[in-house]
């Protein structure tokens, strides 16, 4: 088991932790981006599950696209029992995906408020205190458009979200996607104000698809910008560091 230092938060993906000299910088916000089907949500949930079960770091999932029930059901295929972690107060889920959803306040008696950005930030603070959360995953940034009626306000909302997460002292993953193939950002701001960028992609070659992972940037960590083969197994994400993929990354095209 990788042990976390004072300034390192292990991802729980052994090969990625080796690549990053132990893991993500503590208390920072990392953008995890890529197109549909590249494993972004799985990456985020694995980060939370590994933290809660191996590193004594409870977590919060903010789900903006899938209902909590759907997320719980999907993750069972990896052997991850999110419901059990919730009952043990190792995981809190803030749901803004369900139509007419209200933010659940963990640990309070049926106290809910109508969704808006201010309420979301208050809920993050509230749940963090209640379960002593150290990790947060927001899945996804584009899904915030369901909360924020004016898409032009997304950039300001992302700034506020990142500032709040840092103030709370959490190590956070923001899930997003570009507008087109190979694009990192959807709103032309996420990659610049995030402390790190993990790019996931699918590369087609001779009728086959190979997934790849690239650490585009990681403040405070020395790393090479190379695309490594990534697979999604029955136990979650696995990265192969023994070779760099021979397929060209869309970042290079």
Please give the pLDDT value at position 240: 93
Please give the pLDDT value at position 112: 35
Average predicted confidence (pLDDT) for the chain: 86
Which are the contacts of 38, defined by CB distance < 8 A and separation ≥ 6?
200, 201, 202, 211
72 lies in a domain? Answer: yes
Higher pLDDT, 19 or 110: 19
71 lies in a domain? Answer: yes
Which tokens go with 158? 């992302």
68 lies in a domain? Answer: yes
Please give the pLDDT value at position 3: 46
Helix (H, G, I), strand (E, B) or coil at 231: strand
- CA nearest neighbour of 168 among 138, 143, 199, 145: 138
* Cβ 239 vs Cβ 16: under 8 Å: yes
Which tokens go with 111? 């106290």
* Cβ 177 vs Cβ 34: under 8 Å: yes
Please give the pLDDT value at position 82: 97
157 lies in a domain? Answer: yes
133 lies in a domain? Answer: yes
Helix (H, G, I), strand (E, B) or coil at 191: helix
Domain encompassing residue 59: 8-199
pLDDT in tens, 203-225: 876 778 899 999 999 998 777 88
Helix (H, G, I), strand (E, B) or coil at 153: helix
Give the CATH number, domain containing residue 59. Answer: 3.40.50.300
What is Dmax (Cα atoms) for the chain? 57
Q: Report how far residue 202's alpha carbon sits from residue 210's, in angstroms, rounded to the nearest whole number.
A: 6
Q: What is the pTM of this model?
A: 0.89
225 lies in a domain? Answer: no
When pLDDT is averaged across residues 153-177 and rounded to a whole number, the result is 93
221 lies in a domain? Answer: no
Beta strands in the chain (DSSP E): 8-9, 24-25, 29-34, 58-63, 91-95, 102-104, 112-114, 133-139, 171-176, 196-205, 208-218, 227-233, 236-239
Q: Which of 37-46, 80-89, 137-146 is the least confident region?
A: 137-146
Q: What is the CA radius of gyration of the chain?
A: 17
213 lies in a domain? Answer: no
Q: In this structure, are strands 24-25 and 133-139 parallel, antiparallel, or unpaired? A: unpaired
- CA nearest neighbour of 247 among 217, 184, 205: 205
Number of domains the chain is built from: 1
* Cβ neighbours of 202 (radius 10 Å): 18
């Amino acid at each position: 088991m990788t042990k976390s230092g004072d300034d390192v938060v292990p991802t729980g993906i052994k090969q990625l932790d080796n690549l990053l000299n132990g893991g993500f910088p503590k208390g920072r916000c990392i953008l995890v981006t890529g197109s549909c089907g590249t494993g972004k949500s799985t990456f985020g949930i694995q980060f939370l599950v590994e933290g809660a079960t191996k590193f004594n770091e409870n977590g919060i999932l903010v789900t903006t696209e899938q209902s909590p029930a759907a997320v719980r059901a999907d993750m069972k295929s990896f052997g991850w029992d999110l419901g059990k972690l919730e009952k043990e107060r190792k995981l809190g889920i803030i749901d803004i995906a369900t139509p007419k959803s209200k933010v659940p306040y963990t640990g309070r008696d049926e106290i809910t408020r109508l969704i808006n950005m201010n309420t979301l930030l208050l809920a993050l603070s509230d749940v963090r205190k209640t379960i002593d959360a150290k990790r947060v995953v927001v899945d996804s940034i584009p899904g915030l458009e369901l909360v924020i009626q004016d898409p032009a306000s997304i950039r300001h909302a992302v700034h506020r979200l990142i500032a709040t997460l840092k103030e709370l002292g959490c190590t956070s993953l923001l899930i997003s996607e570009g507008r087109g193939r190979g694009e990192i950002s959807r709103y032309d701001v996420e990659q610049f104000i995030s402390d790190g960028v993990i790019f996931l992609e699918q590369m087609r070659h001779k009728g086959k698809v190979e997934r790849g992972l690239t650490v585009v940037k990681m403040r405070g960590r020395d790393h090479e910008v190379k695309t490594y083969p990534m697979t999604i197994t029955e136990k979650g994400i696995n990265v192969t560091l023994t070779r760099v993929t021979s397929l060209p990354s869309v970042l290079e095209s």
